[in-house]
Structure 1
Amino acid sequence: LVNAAGLTSRGSLLDTTPELFDQHIAINLKAPFFAMQAAVADMTARKAPGTIVNIGSNCAHGGPPYLAPYSAAKAGLAGLTRNAAHAHRFDRIRINTLNIGWTATEGEDAVQRAFHDAGDDWLQQAAERQPMGKLGQPDEIADFVVFLLSDRSGVVTGSVIDWDQNVLGALD
């Protein structure tokens, strides 16, 4: 199972409505919870090992002020990953989360234009400010997810992996 759905609409601590908060929890936390529940129930009923990868976000560590409900929900997903991985490790079900950093997608382009008044050159400007000179690429993420789903990732379970070019906690 790969839980990859996500909602990234904007809201700060002060302007997020209960409805917006509930939307983020529903898409970014509740849906993965119940998808995992169904998958784990099936795997355990069949006594079959399995693998689950949740797509998280580096915003789970805090995130920008305008992503408060998103950050809260993704932080919950990281905790859920560890909880479920611990609970089902002897069922041979591996559960991990990949916390994605800034990635060049069509959705990100739409968000940058809608919420941040970005022009046609926003991606080039953003890439130039990144340590590796680019934003993450969807195919790179897909390759990493396939690795986590495969037997090549070994016994890894309960891990929340930061897939990003910026180092958490490091400051210049």
Structure 2
Amino acid sequence: MTGIDVAGKTVLVTGGSQGIGGAIADRFAQFGARVVIVDVNEAGAEKAANMAAAGQEAHFVRCDVSRADDIQALAAEVQAKAGTVQVLVNNAGIFPRADLLRTEEAFWDRIMDINLKGAYLMSQAFVPGMIEQGTGCIVNIGSTHASMGSPDAMAYAVSKGGIVTLTRNLAKGLAHHGIRVNCVQPGWVASEGETERIRATGVNPDEQYAEVGARLPLGRMQTGEDIADSVLFLASSLSRQVTGQILTVDGGLSLR
């Protein structure tokens, strides 16, 4: 068994400056991967610099994944800085809340552009390089909202349902090129973004995390590191016969 064999590979993580994406970037770097952090958040530059100072190879490229011209420029810069991408992690996403009657067209479009169109555009940009090298891996970050639904997260849930469909279609279409495509569906993750959202409602995030975690079958909230470990598995040869699959990492939240 070859194990976690990502050392020396170029791994691109969208939304990699913090939260789940930040944890994914850290985990791959810890296993010797060459990490490219892609984000609109300039904090990614500081994160990459800190990783480099720790002896890890990391680069930051600013990019709005909802814009095709940004991604074209990104592809050229990544090739120059880090070479051909072997692992693409489509993690960038936003999760504002609104039910059907409060969901305006611009709100809907913005969520779809980042959460779903971004994954499609990124895949379209980097798959040709994977085809040329005869191997590659894409891991899309979905959400349990895709199957469970939530009245105040309708557009977000629909965008993540689209990620599931995109994953299965890409997996079927790219398998003969040696490219595997899978999806990780996190449950409720105690990330920076979620903490800020909860705090803005006047609730203590730590208290809410403890309360919700205690109700989960496995007894605690998920962390970014929990999701990162699952992504690492799907990107390694430990999952060499796994493609088109949806791996739910939610502490048992979705058990019936």
TM-score normalised over the length of structure 2: 0.63
Distance apart, 1:169 and its partner CA:
6.2
Distance apart, 1:40 and its partner CA:
1.0
Match of 1:122 among 195, 208, 213: 208
Moved more, 136-145 or 121-130: 121-130
Provide the rounded CA distance (Å) in 2 between the counterparts of 1:80 and 1:169.
24
Provide the rounded CA distance (Å) in 1 between the counterparts of 2:226 and 2:251.
13
Alignment of 1:73-92 (within 5 A): 73-92=159-178
Match of 1:33 among 77, 99, 120: 120
Provide the rounded CA distance (Å) in 2 between the counterparts of 1:131 and 1:28.
29
Deviation per CA, 1:66-117, whole angstroms, max 9, x where unpaired?
0000000000010011001100110010000101101111211111122x43
Provide the rounded CA distance (Å) in 2 between the counterparts of 1:133 and 1:165.
7
Work out whether 1:21 is the aligned partner of 2:108.
yes
Q: Which amino acid aligns with 2:89?
A: V
SS of residue in 2 equivalent to 1:158: coil
Determine the structure 2 residue equivalent to 1:61.
147
Work out whether 1:72 is the aligned partner of 2:158.
yes
SS of residue in 1 equivalent to 2:150: coil
Q: Which amino acid aligns with 1:164?
A: D
Determine the structure 1 residue equivalent to 2:191.
105
- The 8 Å contact of residues 96 and 160 in structure 1, kept in 2 or not, is answered as yes
Percent identity, please. Answer: 37
Work out whether 1:142 is the aligned partner of 2:225.
no
Provide the rounded CA distance (Å) in 2 between the counterparts of 1:64 and 1:110.
20
Q: How many residues align?
A: 168
SS of residue in 1 equivalent to 2:109: helix
Provide the rounded CA distance (Å) in 1 between the counterparts of 2:166 and 2:194.
26
Distance apart, 1:63 and its partner CA:
2.2
Provide the rounded CA distance (Å) in 2 between the counterparts of 1:101 and 1:66.
16
Provide the rounded CA distance (Å) in 1 between the counterparts of 2:90 and 2:174.
17
Match of 2:136 among 43, 50, 75: 50
Deviation per CA, 1:92-148, whole angstroms, max 9, x where unpaired?
10000101101111211111122x432252222222222222101111211111110
Q: Which amino acid aligns with 2:230?
A: F
Change in 2 beyond 3 A, CA 1:128/1:97:
same
Whose relative contact order is higher, 1 or 2, with alpha carbons under 8 Å and at least 6 apart? 1
Provide the rounded CA distance (Å) in 1 between the counterparts of 2:138 and 2:130.
11
- The 8 Å contact of residues 47 and 91 in structure 1, kept in 2 or not, is answered as no
Provide the rounded CA distance (Å) in 2 between the counterparts of 1:80 and 1:106.
27
- The 8 Å contact of residues 210 and 221 in structure 2, kept in 1 or not, is answered as no
- The 8 Å contact of residues 111 and 156 in structure 2, kept in 1 or not, is answered as yes
Over the residues paired in the alignment, what is the CA RMSD in angstroms? 1.4
Determine the structure 2 residue equivalent to 1:3.
90
- The 8 Å contact of residues 60 and 75 in structure 1, kept in 2 or not, is answered as yes
Provide the rounded CA distance (Å) in 1 between the counterparts of 2:107 and 2:183.
24
Q: Which amino acid aligns with 1:141?
A: I
SS of residue in 1 equivalent to 2:96: coil
Q: Which amino acid aligns with 2:164?
A: A
